[in-house]
Structure 1
Amino acid sequence: MFRVLKEDIDTIFEQDPAARSYLEVILTYSGLHAIWGHRLAHGFYKRKFFFLARLISQISRFFTGIEIHPGAQIGRRLFIDHGMGVVIGETCEIGDNVTLYQGVTLGGTGKEKGKRHPTVKDNALIATGAKVLGSITVGEGSKIGAGSVVLKDVPADSTVVGIPGRIVIQAGKKVQKDLNHCDLPDPVADRLLGMEKEIQKLKKELEETKKGEYRHDHSTL
């Protein structure tokens, strides 16, 4: 147990250059407190003490601002940086050496049953405010950009950005042209624009039909 606790602390020193001392890390890092609280809650959850497990997780949430369901399975050396607002669902599976930033949600879509939350493989990184939703898999070594909404599986060694999330780099190669992060794709606006063009086309065809009927009526008089 002490080896695991020390490993959690060492992970912070490796990932965060602002960490200065063991005492500072132990007393002030909410991400570390949330992970330790989860380990305790998860232990009770596996032994079917569900109420006690949820109580511990809610107390941890109150003090850290990080909500981790006690049923979530978390690997070694998870690093939660500035973790306020992080949410990890019940059926989440997180591998080793994963990094999560503030505001990340690993949640469900509200439609699935059983396994309804994401699986995040080893060495993945999910940046600030990203939402990974549903029973999908984020592959090993992949990166999810800040503010992205991911609804589909992400292959290993990929970089995903945008709403909805699109793969821009895979295995070190660009998949599409550079994406301007000040002008992220808006699928709703694109769809509305397409509908507007279709309506204009139908209006034009209707006007031409009416003109044709008008000419036909006058030619028979």
Structure 2
Amino acid sequence: MKNDVLVPINCIDFINQEVPLHTRAKLVPIIKESYLLVNDSIKNSPFLNWEIGLRHSGYLRPIAIQFLIKRAVDQGQVNIRTRIGTNSKKTSKHLELVTDNAVITISQVMSSKKIARPAFFRKYYQNADQLLFNFENKDEKVSDQPIHLLLTHGYGGLTPRFINLGIPNKNGSWIDRINLMNEPHVITTPESDRIKEEVITEEKLVSFKKFVQGVQESGT
């Protein structure tokens, strides 16, 4: 039928399958730490620590989040895969998180109810990959393409107001989502495997500055 809504049989079950709680619990402190890292980077940079420079914190947060997530994955702290994606014109790059059946992109948005601004790579995933099942017709053919999940975080000062992980639709809204900040952030694991919140080491600060410099020089 024309008005049928085609979605995964259970969106939350799918999210739990692809990004289990113990993985989501580690993403939350990474994103929180990214906000602090940007704040510390600005305070330590005269180039940014003034009236106009401060307005660019919103640009630096997504870079910091992608940097720290990739770093944590590379160090084996988060059980997920990463890859670098590009937009349709190949003029910008972004980090994608990859699971067996999903691709996750990360966006900063103004409201918990909002999803990312239109972009080619998001439209591609939303249009090609999202329509798996029909609630009214259980025999609907299952797509063999990965589902697009969206990880959003909300503007704030030293900490995000929300962190959502969910499935967007092509109409610019959520099919369903989980606010990760309402979930437990720490799972019982060996102490060496925990990601400490609110601790910005000099090494991370220097590494992030070099990373930002590389992004600026490459024009991405």
TM-score by length of 1: 0.24
Q: Which protein, 1 or 2, shows the higher relative CO under an 8 Å CA cutoff with sep ≥ 6? A: 2
Q: Which has the larger radius of gyration?
A: 1
TM-score by length of 2: 0.24
